[in-house]
Amino acid sequence: MNSAITADQSPSTYRAELPEQPLVVVEPKKSWVRLELRDLWTYRELLYFLTWRDVKVRYKQTLLGATWAILQPLVLMLIFNFVFGRLAGIKTGDVPYFLFAFAGLLPWTFFANAITNSGNSLVNSTNLITKVYFPRMLIPMASVAAGLVDLGIAFILMAVLMVYYGVGFNLQLLMLPVLVCLATMLAIGVGMWMSALNVRYRDVRHALPFLVQIWMFSSPVIYPVPDRWRWLLAMNPMTGVIQGFRSALFGKPFDLLSLGVSAVITTVVLLTAIISFRRMEKSFADVI
């Protein structure tokens, strides 16, 4: 087959083979930063594969596998029940402290693991970042999404405990997906902040565990919210989430003020994290 260009072939013959619409359009930026959130939908399959990768890596070559998702909050619940329920004698009303603590540990364990894993996700994916282009936000988002698997497994134990203690199911349980979504959005926002800072300042890797510990004791995970400190604890976005989990699980009235404050702060944190992440990701491949 002779592929040489003959004299009777005009340039218009080859011009007709070009696409009618340009494949790439280069335009000037209309603002100081472009969010380009449509890229997340375009690469949605990559988000799935990155999430599945994180799940498999987490339990690869482990004896107990996904059982760790139940053991971590269960062991913490036993310790808190002995120290704060038995020794300190913290009162939790008509809800046994055992259930009270576990209901708080469910969202908190998910959130703590999510921001820890997502905070280190970019540094742990150096080879991927420096070789292939894709929206870098997918990496911390995948780490948070992988934590939802652990949360779902831990919910099974929570359902068993509720049946054992005779806690009935109620319509307020329908709020749980909303609360999980709120905790996920907050984890993505904080995780993106931490992961972007961790690329530039590796101190974040060491400071993150201390931040998680301080945040836990400033959240009503192991104690009920005192009335006189309710306004102060409401500034913590995890307060509304944790209290919302307990209200949904035990059929208690929702603290709408705490939930509203949590929703507003979570939205602000997520939006500012996306904007800052977009600004900093240009130099990730050079700095990481």
> Please, which pLDDT band fits residue 235 given cuts at 50, 70 and 90?
very high
Provide the number of structural domains found in the chain.
Answer: 1
**pLDDT for residue 75:** 86
- The reply to whether 120 falls in a domain is yes
Answer whether residue 145 shows pLDDT above 80: yes
Alpha carbon distances (Å) from 288 to 123, 154, 200, 212, 265 = 7, 35, 7, 24, 30
- The reply to whether 42 falls in a domain is yes
- The reply to whether 31 falls in a domain is no
How many alpha carbons fall within 13 Å on the CB side of residue 46?
16
Alpha carbon distances (Å) from 176 to 132, 153, 181 = 37, 15, 8
At 173-203, the pLDDT tens digits run: 899 999 999 999 999 999 999 999 998 888 8
- Of all residues in the chain, the percent with pLDDT exceeding 90 is 34
Q: What is the pTM of this model?
A: 0.82
Answer whether residue 163 shows pLDDT above 70: yes
> Please, which pLDDT band fits residue 126 given cuts at 50, 70 and 90?
confident
**pLDDT for residue 132:** 79
Asked if 45 and 287 touch (Cβ cutoff 8 Å), the reply is: no
Distance separating the N- and C-terminal Cα atoms of the chain:
49
Q: How far apart are CA 77 and CA 98, in angstroms?
A: 7
Domain that holds residue 169: 37-287
* Rounded mean pLDDT, 237-249: 94
- The reply to whether 16 falls in a domain is no
- The reply to whether 260 falls in a domain is yes
At 8-35, the pLDDT tens digits run: 555 544 455 666 666 555 555 554 455 5
Q: How far apart are CA 142 and CA 46, in angstroms?
A: 9
Answer whether residue 136 shows pLDDT above 90: no
- The reply to whether 11 falls in a domain is no
**pLDDT for residue 268:** 96
- The reply to whether 162 falls in a domain is yes
- The reply to whether 136 falls in a domain is yes
Q: How far apart are CA 158 and CA 252, in angstroms?
A: 17
Identity of the residue numbered 49: F
